[in-house]
Amino acid sequence: MSKISAIIPAAGSGTRMGGDRSKQYLAIGERPILIETLMVFNESPHIDEIILLSPPADIDLMKKLLKKYDLAKVTKVVKGGKERQDSISNALDALDRSSSIVLVHDGVRPFISDKIIKELIDAVNQYGAAIAAVPVKDTVKKVSNRSISGISIIETVPRENLWLAQTPQAFRAKLIIGAYANAREKGIRGTDDASLLEAIGVDVKIVMGSYENIKITTPEDLVFAEAILKERSR
């Protein structure tokens, strides 16, 4: 039977949060951010297995957390690499042949909904590749490099066709495996997974994400996260 697999990268050091512990272990509400994220996928009827990427030094800690929170769909805990792309590459190597669809979702985006997960899987079944994204709300400026006299605006970029890429990003397994193999061969580095598929000419569709689907990266994001959680628990 073909499986739908979720890869959750959680192998970053999280240095932008300050402090010496990775941001994903910080609690929002009662549970660590990463656990909140994993729970959405663990409880989704659309997901068959989860592959979790861990900092190499935290594998035992991860296994303890998985047990504590009864996250039974996590079938593999894989060591992360130097950068996110290296981590995902390790997870793809650990994928077995029965996976037909792969979703990649950052461990630090706990507010993802099962509705978006389902819409992405539907889009992949129809088109092969799709990501969650939201329209840009602010005015976007292209600027110069910083010089002694500061940073200058080069141009205002029309925003009507600009969207912010989020995760999950979902693909037919063969497409993402092929895109990562191509990137490795040609030395392509991307800041998301879709860009590696774009590089081999795959048409990647957009599914409406959510402005609540924030990536918790810096201390002020934690304040937003607590607010979203509070609003949801009402």
Residue of the chain from 83, 96, 203, 226 that contacts ligand C5P (CB under 6 A): 83
Segment near ligand C5P (CB under 6 A); pick from 41-49, 75-83, 131-139, 145-153: 75-83
Taking CB under 6 A as the rule, which mask of x and - marks residues 186-225 in contact with ligand C5P? -------------------------------x--------
Residue of the chain from 29, 81, 135, 178 that contacts ligand C5P (CB under 6 A): 81
Cβ at position 41, least distance to ligand C5P in Å:
13
Using CB under 6 A as the binding rule, whether residue 175 contacts ligand C5P is answered as no
Cβ at position 165, least distance to ligand C5P in Å:
11
| C-alpha–C-alpha distance, residues 115 and 124, integer Å | 14
Taking CB under 6 A as the rule, which mask of x and - marks residues 89-118 in contact with ligand C5P? -----------------xxx----------
Count of residues binding ligand C5P (CB under 6 A)? 15
Rounded to the nearest 10 degrees, what angle do helices 33-43 and 114-127 cross at?
60
Structure tokens at 187: 């030395």
Strand boundaries in the chain, DSSP class E: 3-9, 27-28, 31-32, 49-54, 74-79, 99-104, 129-135, 140-143, 153-157, 163-172, 205-208
- Look-up of token digits 């077995």: 96
Question: In three state form, how does the secondary structure of 125-145 look?
Answer: HHHCEEEEEEECCCCEEEECC
Longest dimension (CA), the chain: 62
Residue whose CB is nearest to ligand C5P in the complex, by number: 12
Binding to ligand C5P, residues 12-31 (CB under 6 A): 12
DSSP 158: P
Rule CB under 6 A: which residues touch ligand C5P? 9-12, 53, 80-84, 87, 106-108, 217
